[in-house]
Structure formats: structure tokens, C-alpha cells
Amino acid sequence: MRKDVRILLVGEPKVGKTSLIMSLVSEEFPDVVPYRAEEITIPADVTPERVPTHIVDYSEAEQTDEQLFQEISKANVICIVYAVNNKKSIEKVTSHWIPLITENTDKDSRVPLILVGNKSDLVEHSSMETILPIMNQYSEIETCVECSAKNLKNISELFYYAQKAVLHPTGPLYCPEKKDMKPLCVKALTRIFKVSDLDNDGNLNDNELNFFQRTCFNTPLEPQALEDVKNVVRKNLIDGVCDNGLTLKGFLFLHTLFIQRGRHETTWTVLRRFGYDDDLELNQDYLFPPLKIPPDCTTELNHNAYLFLQSVFDKHDKDRDCALSPEELRDLFDVFPYMPWGPDVNNTVCTNDQGWITYQGYLSQWTLTTYLDVQRCLEYLGYLGYSIIAEQESQAAGITVTRDKKIDLQKKQTQRSVFRCNVFGDIGSGKSGFLQAFLGRNLMRQKTIKEEHRSYYAINTTYVYGQEKYLLLHEVFPDFDYLSDSDLACDIVCLVYDVSNPYSFEYCAKVFKQYFMDSKTPCMMIAAKSDLPEVKQMYGCSPLEFCRRHKMPPPQSFTCNAASAPNRDIYTKLTTMAMYPHVSQADLKSSTFWLRASVGATVFAVLGFAMYRVLLKTR
């Protein structure tokens, strides 16, 4: 909403423009009227809409055409004043003033006009019969007010309507010629309806209507008032009410009715509460609330945000199979201006046998977006109406900014839940297979992935000492000379070589020596394709000896070429090393250290599966 309003009064000489302003300010008709009143600013606390209002007078005797054109271009609303007892001043409204204003305003930003019939005290008849055809001809005319500066009739109302025309304009909402709402308004209200339809049954029941009413107007509707609203819709629309709930058609009908009856401030209140600006676009301040992220800190979703996202998933998982079909996913993102998830997402997170994103995969993708691009996450949460439905100040309330990683190292403990593992390896070493195996896909299933749908990320949960954590794997493009800061910034490094290729290990050794040998980032060597015959690596020492010299755990054998889903133990080890980078090499070699971590993971996974089944039954 605008922070102030600028009202310009124009019209023929002697119609009473200056008198109207002076009568408003002094609350009495002036004995002496100057050619032109000085610009007046009415403070916010004395205006109905609580917005400072500037009132500007125009005098043909004192101002040039150039000055008039400048004032027209600066005005938010223009009052064209005529005298109800002067036919010539009425004719000039269409022959002179409206064309002049049109020529001097931007065609894309229509300035609302108010027709003001002054001197109503001098006649017994109304000018409305003459004015109505003019109002029907020009859609930019918001309203017409007949008033009298002499007896103070409708003076306050005149300036209230002028202010309202700026703060709650009809133009973006309604097309008078078609007598219907404009497409952008329908689109915005449809999104609002879908966000407010908490159970996604296509109707707003009494609880949902009350929540909507409280959200927008800070007060619930009494049961009788609710019923009255629905009765109005029932009388005018066959399918406006269904199962005692308001349908989308009924919802849109109500807002059309508000606008037609001059109560468009009601519709604007709703639109602005749900983040829309005067052009019916979602406000940038709404989509991107401020969020300060210091260096070496990461971003994660907090508990409230996960609960909200879970409710969104449940709302759209119509068949209760704990996965989103393509149709259910499109329905979920119907409140977005575009489809945010492409086919690569299905190869970034867990899916079911049909390739549909599971509940776990859905939460994982949100976790990944929050970690990699928190601004995008804020935008997405904004489209879903997080701040409104979760009753939070903004989407930023759903984000946790973790503490500096250096503090974690000093305290030898971390509060983070998401850990990044950058995966390095030469071309053909098995990096992509390693990522896909984390999502439970063996080599046979990986071969069905189209190249254009390939993802360089994989994210899933692991369990360390019974704690659920997210491990985010990122496959780094093997261009040794052009590694960016983001390629190097991670919690753990994974160096993958192909045991069947004698030249594969050399790349891993070079990357380690140049970028990670002197860093505090833990590293792990992966001996990939271990189902194939192992050959001697053409390097100065064996991978085992290399790891021993550089105090790394021994190379971990890995293959995804099996009939069953790949073993997940290796990912638990990576997460554990990322969580405890301070743990000594001796501890990492200890079998009991890994046993404690993996047993915790197994127990938690079994419990998690049991809980999953219980949740499925309750849902």
C-alpha cells in the first residue's frame, strides 16, 4: 500500500476548487478566497486510512501549463471539479480536462479520477443524470461526489473517496465494461482460496472461513453471519456453496459483489494480507523478507517449517500413498507462478518404484533448497502462504541460521542437521553412481535415467547415534584447474576412484594434495566399482598407503552393481565424519566407533519405519 497520497484539484476558474480545500481545513466557508491555496498536508493520524495526504490546488491565473502538466504527472488521484449550476464547466470535463490528463499521464499507470460537483447549495436538482453517461464512458473515473463548500456538505467524503481511489483502486480489480473481475484479480484470489483451503477439498468450511476472516480482519465471523454470507451466495449462484462450504466460484462471486457495491477495500485488505501489491503481483518484501546470514553459517528449516511442509504434503497426497504423483505435485504447485521442480528433482531425492517423490524425498528437496539457496526457499514458502497459515511474521521465521563452523570445531559439537559432502573423482570413476546409490538405486535402475534429467546433487537422511541428519552429496565437475569456492566449501570431502582403472586414483591424489591436504576438512577415499577386478594404480604409492601417510581412513570399497539396493553404511560413516571432524584418526580406524554409529542408525531406521507405518494408518 502507498505510504502517502497526493490529490490534485483541477477544473475551470470559479468552480470552487480553492474553497473546497479551505472549507476542509478550517471547517467553515472562507470569507476571502485566494486565487490558489498552498499545498496542504493532512497528517496520517487524522485520515481514515492512516496515510499522510497532500492536497494540491491549481489556478489558471497563477500557474503555467507546464506547471499544471508537472502536477498532473505527480498526482496519485485527480479531482475534476465542476459547478453543478454551470453547464459549460460540466462540458469541459470531457472536452478539455480528461483528454488533457490522459495526454500527460503514463498510459500504463492509469490515474484515478473523481468528478466533483460543487455548489450543490445553489440548485435543487442533481447533476448525476448528466454525469452518469460520462462515468460509463471513462473507466478511469472512480466515482462522482456532489458537495457544497459553502455549507460543508460532503467535503470530508470527497477527500475520503479521493484517498480511497488511490489506496483501494477499482482499476486493477474490475472491468466495468464486462461487469466482472479482471483476470489478474481472479488469479490472485484463486491462489488465496487454495492456500486457505487447508484440507484441499475444494470448499472453505466454517473453520477455514473463520481462520481466513481472522487472518484478514482480526475478528472471526459469528455463526449467523457465516450463514448469512452463504445464503447470499446460494441465492445468486447454483454451485457457490457445496457441502455447506464456500466453493471457489462462491468465493469469487462474493468479491465481485464487494467491488460492485463500492466495498473494494474489503478485497484489497484480503489481497494485501496475502502479499499482493497494487499491480496484483506478490510484493518483493513479502517474498524475500530480510534474513542475515553471517559467513561460515548455513541455513536450515526449523521444526515449525517442517510441520507446515508436512501439512502441505498431507493436503495434496490424495491417495494417501506417502508419495506425490505428477498430478498431485502439479496441484501442490498450482499456487506458484511457475513449476519450481524439474525432472532432475526426481534424481536428487528418494522416489517410489513409479518414480514419484516420496514424503522423505519431498522434505529432502526442501532441505536442499534451504541449504543451497535460502532466498529461493523464502520465495517458495511465500507462495505457499507460510507466514499466514503458520501465523508467523514472515517466512524468515521458518529458517534457522546455524552458528559459525569455527565455533562447532572449538566446542567439538554441532547443532546442525544438514551436512554437505563434495564428491570428487575423474571422469568415469563412478561419482554419479555413488550419488544415486545414496537414494537406494542400483546400477540397473540408474541406467534408466535420461542424461538431460541427471542431477549433480543427492540428498537423503542418515542416522548417527540415533540422530536423524541430512547428508547432501554434490558431484563436482572434474575440471581440476577451475574449482570454485563452492566446490571446496563443504563438511567432508569424498574422493572416488575406479578400482578397475589404473589411472583413476591419480586424480584423487592430486585434488587432495592441492586443495585439502592442509585444510581441516575431513576426507574419505572411495574405492568404487569394487565388484570389478582390482588393478594396480599407476601412482607413486597404493591408495591404502596414501591414506595411511595422510592420516585418512583406509579406502572404502563400494559398488552399486547388485540386484538389491546399495549398502548405506558408507553414507553413515561420511555423516559421522562430517559431524565429528575433530575425532582423531585412531578413533576413525576403531571398529567400535563405526559400530556405535551404525547400530544407532539401524535401530533408529527400524523405529522410523515403524513410526512411518503408524502415521500412514492414522492418515
β-pairing verdict for 141-146 and 174-175: unpaired
pLDDT of residue 589: 52
Mean pLDDT for back-to-back runs of 10 residues, the chain (619 residues): 89 94 90 89 80 92 92 94 95 95 82 94 90 88 92 92 88 86 97 97 96 93 92 94 94 95 92 94 96 94 97 96 96 97 95 95 98 98 97 96 88 90 95 95 87 92 94 88 78 96 96 91 96 95 96 95 86 94 57 52 48 48
Residues 147 and 13 occupy one common structural domain: yes
Cβ pair 312, 332 in contact under 8 A: yes
pLDDT value of residue 597: 52
Residue-level pLDDT at 591:
53
Cell of 56: 494540491
One domain, residues 427 and 566: yes
Three-class secondary structure of residue 432 per DSSP: helix
Are residues 512 and 450 located together in one domain of the fold? yes
Same-domain check for residues 276 and 296: no
Helix axes 248-260, 264-273, angle to 10 degrees: 130
Q: What is the pLDDT of residues 440-489, one digit of tens each?
A: 999 988 888 888 888 999 999 999 988 999 999 999 987 766 777 777 88
The predicted structure's pLDDT at residue 586: 45
Within a domain: residue 349?
yes
Does 569 lie in the same domain as 517?
yes
> Which of 144, 141, 131 is closest to 171 using CA atoms?
141
pLDDT of residue 605: 46
Q: Are 350 and 439 in contact (CB under 8 A)?
A: yes
Give pLDDT, residue 81.
Answer: 97
Residue 352: domain span: 290-402
Considering the domain architecture, whether residues 191 and 338 belong to the same structural domain is answered as no
Residue 13: how many CB atoms within 10 A of its CB?
Answer: 10
In a domain, 21, yes or no: yes
CATH of the domain at 434: 3.40.50.300
* Statement to judge: residues 139 and 200 lie in one domain: no
Nearest to 109 by CA among 171, 160, 54: 171
Residues 6+ apart with CB under 8 A from 369: 376, 377, 380
Q: Residue 438: helix, strand or coil by DSSP?
A: helix
Q: Are 387 and 367 in contact (CB under 8 A)?
A: no
Q: What is the pLDDT of residue 308?
A: 98
Per DSSP, 493 falls in state: E
Angle between helices 206-217 and 183-196 (to 10 degrees): 120
Distances in Å between the alpha carbon of 604 and those of 10, 323, 574, 611? Answer: 76, 22, 17, 10
From residue 41, alpha-carbon distances to 156, 325, 351, 394 in Å are 15, 58, 62, 33
Q: Indicate the residue among 402, 433, 457 that finishes a domain.
A: 402
Q: Closest Cα partner for 2 from 147, 126, 117, 168? A: 168
Same domain, 251 and 294: no
Q: Which residues pair with 345 in a beta bridge?
A: none
**Domain at 383, CATH number:** 1.10.238.10
The answer to whether position 320 is within a domain reads yes
Count of structural domains, the chain: 5
Is 419 within 8 Å of 492 (Cβ atoms)? yes
Can you give the pLDDT at residue 224? 93
Answer whether 177's CB lies under 8 Å from 185's CB: no
429 and 574 housed in the same domain: yes
CA distance 289 to 275: 11
Look at residue 148 in the predicted model and tell me its pLDDT.
95
Beta bridge partners of 341: none
Check whether residue 447 and residue 563 sit in a common domain: yes
Parallel/antiparallel/unpaired status of strands 357-358 and 241-242: unpaired
Tens digit of each residue's pLDDT (9 = 90 or more) over 168-178:
888 889 987 78
Evaluate whether residue 584 is within a structural domain.
no
Residue 586 lies in a domain: no
Indicate whether 432 and 546 sit together in one domain.
Answer: yes
Other CB atoms within 10 Å distance of the CB of residue 274: 23
Of 112, 139, 167, which marks where a domain is finished? Answer: 167
Distance CA 458, CA 360 (A): 13
pLDDT for 479: 73
Secondary structure class of 62 (helix, strand, coil): coil
Report the chain's terminal Cα–Cα distance, integer Å.
42
pTM score of the predicted model: 0.85
* d(C-alpha 169, C-alpha 280), whole Å: 11
Sheet with strand 245-247: strands edge to edge: 203-204, 245-247, 241-242
Residue where a domain stops, chosen among 369, 402, 435: 402
User: What is residue 216's predicted lDDT score, i.e. its pLDDT?
Assistant: 95
Show the DSSP H helices in 97-168 as ranges: 98-103, 128-137, 155-167
User: Residue 172 falls within a domain, yes or no?
Assistant: no
585 within a domain of the structure (yes/no): no
Whether residue 125 lies inside any domain: the answer is: yes
What does the block give as the cell for 161? 473517496
Asked if 163 and 206 sit in the same domain, the reply is no
